[in-house]
Amino acid sequence: MIRLEPFERSDFQQLIDWVDSEELLTQWSGSLFSFPLTASSLEWYLTDTNVINESDAFVYKAVDVETGEVVGHISLGGISWKNRSSRISRVLVGSENRHRKGIGQQMTKAALKIGFEELGLHRICLGVYENNKPALNCYLKCGFNIEGVSRDILWYNNEYLSMVEMAILENEWKAMTH
């Protein structure tokens, strides 16, 4: 079981340790950060976050309820209060030994629960690079629908990557959870 808690400065080093390659950094954040990830580059990331009705971003660490261990990271950002919409981004299951154990699904569903049930959002979207098949499958299992593909959006490792755009609406969420 996963619980989301606010991501804080004291969590910087663990995230930096997890993001140990340029490839993983790109998969996690696109071109938002440059490698290597540093505490100073993460500092702006926390500015004005996690204040309901004032913030446009909520940044979380994912905590294993049984062990208290931080196992991942997820952000609910780009909030439009007028349109009641948001975008999940920067999703990362930490240690390699935690991959393919359902943690990504639990984190995503926890973020959806916050978005729809606490923040009153109507639409939550995300983008995932086409080559990240495990993440694509995770989001489909969480109820997201593919809305389209932004072709050749990122130049990385001598090739272009396309981004699969996905979204879930509040009525789809309610149908899944009730």
Sorted by where each starts, the structural domains of the chain and their CATH numbers stand as 2-177 (3.40.630.30)
| CA–CA gap between residue 103 and residue 94 (Å, rounded) | 10
Tell me the pLDDT tens digit for each residue of 135-160: 999 999 999 999 999 999 998 889 99
User: Could you tell me the pTM of the whole model?
Assistant: 0.91
Strand partners, 161: 154
Please state, in angstroms and rounded to a whole number, the distance separating the CA atoms of residues 139 and 166: 8
Q: Is 105 helix (H, G, I), strand (E, B) or coil?
A: helix
Q: Give tens-digit pLDDT for 49-84.
A: 555 555 678 999 999 999 999 999 999 999 999 999
Say what percent of the chain tops pLDDT 90: 72
Identify the sign of the CA torsion 25, 29, 30, 32.
Answer: negative
